[in-house]
Each structure stands twice: as structure tokens, then as C-alpha cells.
Amino acid sequence: MTKNQIKLTKCKACGQLIHFVESRAGRLIPCNDKKLSLVTVMGDVVSGWESHFSNCPGAEKFRKKVDGKE
């Protein structure tokens, strides 16, 4: 599977379709299936994925502490 291919799966907490994106640190981040376009304060248009943790009612069950932080 290439980076351009997305494997959708269902969230174990809420059932919404999600996929995982690898962070620069190598951690997997659950993301919603719809890609977003945003405009920065400088007027640039960027696109990306919204973290599923931002709207999942069961997100706290799956969050992991990073370097002692929550």
C-alpha cells in the first residue's frame, strides 16, 4: 500500500470510518476519512486530515501519554 492509498477501518469506540496517518515521530494518528482544506493566516491553502480525537466521544479510552504528558 502506498501513502496515497487509504485503508479505512471503523473506530472501536464510535463506529465512524477512520484511517491512520503516521506522524513524523512514527506514531499512528487516527484521522477522519474526509480530507479538509484550510486557509492559513498568511492566505495559503493547505489540505490535511482532521484528528479523529477531536470529535470521537470515546477518544480518552485510546489516548496515550507522550513523555509523561497527557
Residue 50 lies in a domain: yes
Q: What's the total number of domains in the chain?
A: 1
Is 9:3 a contact under the CB 8 Å cutoff? no
Of residues 42 and 6, more confidence is placed in: 42
Task: Please report whether residue 20 resides in a domain.
Answer: yes
| Helix, strand or coil, per DSSP, at residue 61 | helix
18, 31 in Cβ contact below 8 A?
yes
User: What's residue 7's pLDDT?
Assistant: 87
Kindly tell me if the per-residue pLDDT of 18 is higher than 90. yes
Q: Is the pTM of this model over 0.75?
A: no
Res. 1 pLDDT band, cuts 50 70 90: very low
- Residue pLDDT, tens place only, 19-63: 999 989 998 899 998 889 999 999 999 999 999 988 898 877 766
What are the residues facing 28 on neighbouring strands? Answer: 22
What is the extent of the structural domain holding 54? 9-59
